[in-house]
Chain A
Amino acid sequence: MMPMKTVSTLILIGVTLQTATAMDALDDRSRMFLKSHCLECHNDKKQEGKFRLDNLSPDFNDPQAAQKWAEVVFRINAGEMPPEDAAQPSTEELGWMSEYLTQKIRDGAAARMARRGKLQYYRLSRQEYAHTVYDLLGVVYDVEAPGALNEDPRWHGFDRIGALLSTAPSHIDRYFQAANTVVELAFPDNEPPLQKNRQTAGEGKRYLLQLGEGWGAVNVRTPGRYRIKIQVSGLPAFTGRAPRLSLWHHQRKKSFAGVDLATTADKPETIELEGLFPAGHYQIRNHARTQQHPNGAYKLFRNEQIDASQPLSSYQGGFNASRTKLVDEQGRPVMPLLLVDWVEVEGPLTTDVDRKKREGMFPVGQSSDLPSDPKQVESRLHESLQRFAERAWRRPVSDDEIERYVRFIAAEQKAGADLRSAYRSALSTMLVARSFINLEEGSPNENRNKLNDFELASRLSYFLWSSMPDEELFAAARQGKLHTAEGLAVELDRMLADPKIERFLESFLQQWLQLHRVGMFQPDPNLYPEYDPWLEESMVLETTAYFAEMFKKNLPMREAVDSNWTMLNSRLAIHYGLPMPSQAKLARVELNPKSQRGGILTHASVLSLTSDGTRHRPVHRGAWLSEVVLARTPPSPPPNVEPLEPVAADQPKITIRSQLEAHRLNRTCASCHAKIDPLGLAFDNFDAIGRWRETERIEGGTGDNPPVDASGTLPDGKAFAGPTEFKKLLAENDDELANAFLEQLATYALRRVMTVDDVRHLQAIAESTKAEEYRLQSLVRRLVMSELFQQR
């Protein structure tokens, strides 16, 4: 009989061998952890909870294996495993294991998402669709209007990740509707009449708009380019708070243009707003506060025509007494006011540039325009369709592809349609073709890793312009210039200098920083009565303008997190408690070190998007900072985490930080929170809408509000006393900042998640800009010029 010890040893060897085979890809430390704490109950003999771990594949690219590993992480994070009665690993060990597996899973997920076939399609986001139809045909199509295109799903803020942008039947239906509308607008049977009209407040009158109120003076019947002139006085409040004139789309409940004003009543300004406007009714609105009447009942209207000769300071008492107070006891406006004299609307304007876009694409004028020979007609149709398709599909198009559409037109005509309608139908069909609504990369019969010239042109233009290539870029592609460093550099310079670069500056920033979350949870009006739509808009404008300033001046990446300047308007100055800027509109201002501001991390936009409308969320702030700024996505919290309880009425007030510290006594929570929390707690001096504070307002509880403690220690052991020191530590570590930023930039540019395979490319790009202090525009340039950018 074999001694028991020998049997055990053999079994152990067997288990060890099997384990070694299955978990080869894991490192020693994790294998040891699993062996010590998991395999005893999840092996070939015993599968507690019907879960076997010893033979679980460590191939994290395998969806099923990854799912099971995710289960392991979940059980660890939830504190369920190892069970209470088993030997317990240290908190540090638990945290390490969880993070290790999370990283592996994330790498696997990234690899899966990035797994590419021979042909890859990246559907245009709806914003890109709008830009593309405008650049293709000069047509304004409101993709966000109700019933227009579906909202795009986001992956960590990015709405252009190919793997997520599937095309469902509902998309096709909407694409058809959109295409028909676009083609009808581009090639109508009758050109829409030029609309030019002026509305006045009346002879000797001025239209007075109090806060949040508007004058519905603009009606856009056909979407397009319009020039809107307004003669107006914008009177700042007695405190200097300036009015914001906004062109507010009544149906969309959104501002489409605006301007900050600071004039006197007797010296009105004529402002001109020219841009692309969807159809609808617009209000000239004093946008500095919500339209909702605070009493929740009738509005106490002050939208009225007032006598232009009567000084505003005389509007006190009498019949006005029951209405909103306009001027204070010294006759100064108590709030920002607008006095509008007239509004002039002109459009839709068709510029030569827009007209040129459509040239040669619609050969069917009056029937007398067409040759009498049917073959010549067919040839002309073919030629026009080809011109249209090559631009719309952003690649050369074969005759065979066009022939299908020529036949389609003939079939339509046979069915009774006239030629113009049939031709328009053909164009509409082209705009729902796969080649239009997707960026195509690869070839069906070829396994290649590099983009061809046209694919590269599209990647470049959708990266920098969120739209199709222009004629010069197409020409460079046709000539093969984009695959030469010189040729690419020439195009890159041209594109960076083009006004369309604004689309990148706005779109990338919004997606990178997840600014779509600003205002997602509207701050409780009882707790934050100062919050208003114009503040919310100003918050985003500050960050957008800040990034644009960094880009245009090509500033180092460290200034993204720490600087002595920002972009301010009067609304933000009030919000931040800073001196009123000398001009009403958003402009760069230098900051006093005592301002507690400087760098994106102290922008109200960022500080509020991580709050929940009632209070700041330090853990959310930490997770956001980790993911967005450091490109390290923390593991998701387990479900059913007990929320922090409000402070009981009979208990002393304590900070959220103190409550979290109690929460962290739970070992399973501690491992993750130890890394995330310090990043968020560093900004505890800022409340849920980004105002500076020394004490934390606690609802309920007894005693005074407790003082804020924003000190902490980074995982590398560096201590900081508050946000200023924290920002300095981040800025000093600009290698990490630049690497993380590049990862986000490349994700946006390549429309896919970065994998471990991309790391060396990204590091090389970062390394090449290190000597230039990781300047923003340089990083963009190096990415475009890199090998990675040209890879499929």
Chain B
Amino acid sequence: MTRLIVAKVAKTFAIAPRPKLVASFAAAMTALCSLLFVCSSAIADEKTDALRDYVSKRGVFPPKGAGIHVHGDLVISDPVNRRGALREKRHTPRHYFAMLPYGMVRYHGAPADIRDIPPGTHMHGRFLSPMEGEEETIPVTEQLLKRNKNYGNNHAILLEDDVSFYSRQGRSWKVIGFEQGGGPAPRLKLSVEPVGPEIEGGINKPALFDIDDSTRIWKDRRLVHRDEIKPGMEVQANFTWGPFDSLATTDVWLDDVSLDAFKEIQRQRHLRLIRSRFLPGWVDAVKNYDTGGGEVTVTFFGGMDQELYDEIWKSQSVKMCNAENTLRTWGYHQEYASRASVLEKQKIENPAFGSSGLQMRLKVVQMLDGFRPGKIIRVKGPWTYVLVPQDEVYEKPADLERAQRINLP
């Protein structure tokens, strides 16, 4: 099915699907097919309060369909703490959120970090209730909840831009043509209709998007004039807020090769980030030795690029450091990491959403205090030594204290 979708997208962009491209598309799609399944099925499940209000716990990934769909422009961004806020409409209050430790971000169709998303980008998210113990992280007033109980769902398991959101679910836009809008703010509109399945939280009917000279239009990996947009083309697009709560196009991709280029650039940015910040996961179990060493069983979080999982999987020795729910580490995390050798590894079939399905039992010569069941750790694979910016890590107790709650602007 995944291959079929890819083929369809390729056909839409009027280029022959190269085997490699198809394969990489397929891999990405395979990784996310469970997400697709989850989101599709969530349409029905969302009606049940149990799933909608599901409270996740340390060490346990949430069940299928937990949470709700939220969308809006990213208007507040705190990449260090992986937090931010979406604003859906001109009159709606900001929907502040924190990423769950296993929460995934995608941008341009590739794994990403909040720092990769330009403010103002229209995003889609899957938001859950706060994890146990994290109730105070995002303050929510009773008044706000009365207005819309969705504001209580403020811990994201997934956050992605439109191109990621629609393309991973096999959706694209078929160009109908351009229309000149009227009214008090007359603007040029791109008229499209959806191609592909109906999806939760998405636009499932023909739509008009603002388009002007600020819109970047990509074809054959180059910027082109909007004249290149022809009726009948199947395109992908990213959006931002427009007048009267319309959606204004920021980017339109006319072909597969252009989108792939963006995807690859983002993927490389993601690889660079994680190789210096390490792969996150949480501790499933520990066995303490009475000499200061011990064994730690870790499950890696999902949503990372497969290349990183492959590198970790091949490693016989790694380093592990502590992290908090924000995934921030402590001090010089390179040095404060404990060396570990791989004792055992296993792949979990049909892993839960948020999990990579990769589990390792590691032997460390020095147990750190944070090596406790349910706690977050980051694991360094065979990667170059890099010291991360000082403001990203916790240096002193006050840093941790300050990061306990979102810093509202």
Q: Is A573 an interface residue (CB 8 A)?
A: no
Chain A residues with Cβ below 8 Å from B330 are 319, 321-322
Say yes or no: B369 contacts A335, CB within 8 Å. no
Q: Are A295 and B397 CB-contacts (below 8 A) given A323-B368, A328-B288, A335-B291?
A: no
B288, B338, B339, B397: residue with the most chain A Cβ atoms closer than 10 Å: B288
Question: In chain B between 277 and 332, which residues have their CB closer than 8 angstroms to a CB of chain A?
Answer: 286, 288-294, 321-322, 324, 329-332
A228 CB, min distance to chain B CBs, angstroms: 27
Contact among B288, B339, B365 with A325 in the assembled complex (CB-CB below 8 Å):
B288
* A residues less than 8 Å from B322 (CB atoms): 321-322
A574 to B291, CA, bound (A): 11
Q: Which residues of A326-342 are within 8 A (CB) of B?
A: 326, 328-329, 334-336
Residues of A within 8 A of B290 (CB): 237-239, 241, 334-336, 574
Assuming the contacts A295-B335, A298-B336, asked whether A324 and B370 have C-beta atoms less than 8 A apart, the reply is no
Q: Once the chains are docked, how many angstroms separate the CA of A530 from the CA of B365?
A: 11
Q: B333-366 CB contact bits vs A (8 Å, 1 = yes)?
A: 1011111000000000000000000000000011
Shortest CB-to-CB span from A192 to chain B, Å, is: 41
Residue of B with least CB distance to A322 = B330
**B293 and A300 within 8 A (CB):** no
Q: Is the CB of A211 within 8 A of B369?
A: no
Pick from A237, A295, A296, A321 the residue with the most CB of B within 10 Å: A321
Q: A318-B397, A335-B290 are in contact. Are A324 and B368 (CB under 8 A)?
A: yes
Residue in chain A with minimal CB distance to B331: A322
A749 to B224, CA, bound (A): 101
Q: A322-B322, A334-B288, A335-B291 are in contact. Are A294 and B366 (CB under 8 A)?
A: yes
Minimum Cβ distance to chain A for residue B365 (Å)? 4
Q: Is B14 an interface residue (CB 8 A)?
A: no
Does A529 lie at the interface of the complex (its beta carbon under 8 Å from any beta carbon of B)?
Answer: yes
Among B288, B291, B338, B368, the one with the most A-chain Cβ atoms within 10 Å of its Cβ is B291
* Selected contact of A529 from candidates B331, B336, B365, CB within 8 Å: B365
Chain B residues whose CB sits within 8 angstroms of the CB of A295 once the complex forms: 335, 337-339, 365-366
B20 at the interface (CB under 8 A from A): no
Cα of A319 to Cα of B394 in the assembled complex, Å: 8
Among residues of B, the one whose C-beta sits closest to the C-beta of A296 is B339
User: What separation, in Å, do the CA atoms of A644 and B372 have in the docked complex?
Assistant: 45
Pairwise interchain contact A326-B369, C-beta atoms closer than 8 A: yes
The closest CB in chain B to the CB of A302 belongs to: B369
Which of B365, B366, B394 has the most C-beta atoms of chain A within 10 angstroms of its own C-beta?
A: B366
Q: Are B371 and A325 in contact (CB under 8 A)?
A: yes
A320 neighbours in B (Cβ, 8 Å): 369
Closest to B337 in A: A295
Known A-B contacts A210-B292, A295-B338, A334-B292; the reply to A322 vs B368 at CB < 8 A is: yes
B174 interfacial contact with A, CB 8 Å: no
1/0 contact trace for A658-671 toward B, CB 8 Å?
A: 00000000000000
Query: Is B396 at the interface (CB under 8 A from chain A)?
Result: yes
Q: Provide the B375-409 mask, 1 if CB < 8 A to any CB of A, else 0.
A: 10000000000000000001011001000000000
Q: Does A317 contact B (CB under 8 A)?
A: yes
Q: Are A529 and B368 in contact (CB under 8 A)?
A: no
Determine how close the nearest CB of chain A comes to the CB of B150; give it in whole angstroms. 32
**CB neighbours of B333 from chain A (8 A):** 322
Q: How far is the CB of A213 from chain B (nearest CB, A)?
A: 11
Please determine whether B370 and A321 come into contact, CB atoms closer than 8 angstroms.
Answer: yes
B274: interface (CB < 8 Å): no
Q: Is the CB of B367 within 8 A of A294?
A: no
Q: How far is the CA of A288 from the CA of B373 in the complex (A)?
A: 27
Contact B291 A329 (CB under 8 A): no
Q: Which residues of A contact B336 (CB under 8 A)?
A: 298, 300, 322
Which one of A210, A239, A241, A322 contacts B321 once the chains associate, using CB atoms below 8 Å?
A: A322
Q: Contact check: which of B292, B339, B372, B394 meets A316 at CB < 8 Å?
A: B372
Contact of A324 among B292, B335, B339 (CB under 8 A): B292
List, in ascending order, chain A residues with CB within 8 A of B291's CB: 211, 241, 288-289, 335, 530, 532
Check A325–B332 contact: CB distance below 8 A.
no
Contacts of B369 in A (CB 8 A): 315-317, 320-326
Contacts of B331 in A (CB 8 A): 322
Are B400 and A325 interface neighbours, CB within 8 A?
no
A335 and B400 contacting across the interface, CB-CB below 8 Å: no
User: In the bound complex, what is the Cα–Cα distance between A354 and B215 (angstroms)?
Assistant: 96
CB < 8 Å neighbour of A238 from B288, B292, B338, B366:
B288
A319 touches B397 (CB 8 A): yes
A569 to B291, CA, bound (A): 16
CB pair A324 B366 closer than 8 Å = yes
Kindly state the separation between the CA atoms of A489 and B68 in the bound complex, as whole angstroms.
Answer: 97
Given known pairs A319-B394, A322-B322, the reply for A329 and B372 (CB within 8 Å) is yes
Q: In the assembled complex, how far is the CB of residue A441 from the closest CB belonging to chain B, in whole angstroms? A: 52
The smallest beta-carbon distance between A276 and chain B, in angstroms, is 32
- Tell me which residues across on chain B come within 8 A of A530, comparing CB atoms: 291
Q: A294 and B370: CB pair below 8 A?
A: no
A297 at the interface (CB under 8 A from B): yes
Give the chain B neighbours of A316 by CB distance below 8 A. Answer: 369, 372
Q: How far is the CB of B286 from chain A (nearest CB, A)?
A: 8
Rounded to whole angstroms, the CA-CA distance of A210 and B290 in the bound complex is 12
Residues of chain A at the chain B interface (Cβ within 8 Å)? 210-211, 237-239, 241, 288-289, 293-298, 300, 315-326, 328-329, 334-336, 529-530, 532, 574
Give 28 pairs: A residue, B residue, CB < 8 Å, sorted on A: A238-B290, A239-B290, A289-B292, A294-B365, A294-B366, A295-B335, A298-B335, A300-B336, A316-B369, A317-B375, A318-B397, A318-B400, A319-B330, A319-B396, A320-B369, A321-B375, A322-B330, A322-B336, A324-B366, A324-B368, A324-B369, A325-B368, A326-B369, A329-B286, A334-B289, A334-B292, A334-B367, A529-B293
A-B pairs, top 7 by smallest CB distance, nearest first, are A322-B330, A321-B370, A294-B365, A237-B290, A319-B397, A325-B367, A239-B290
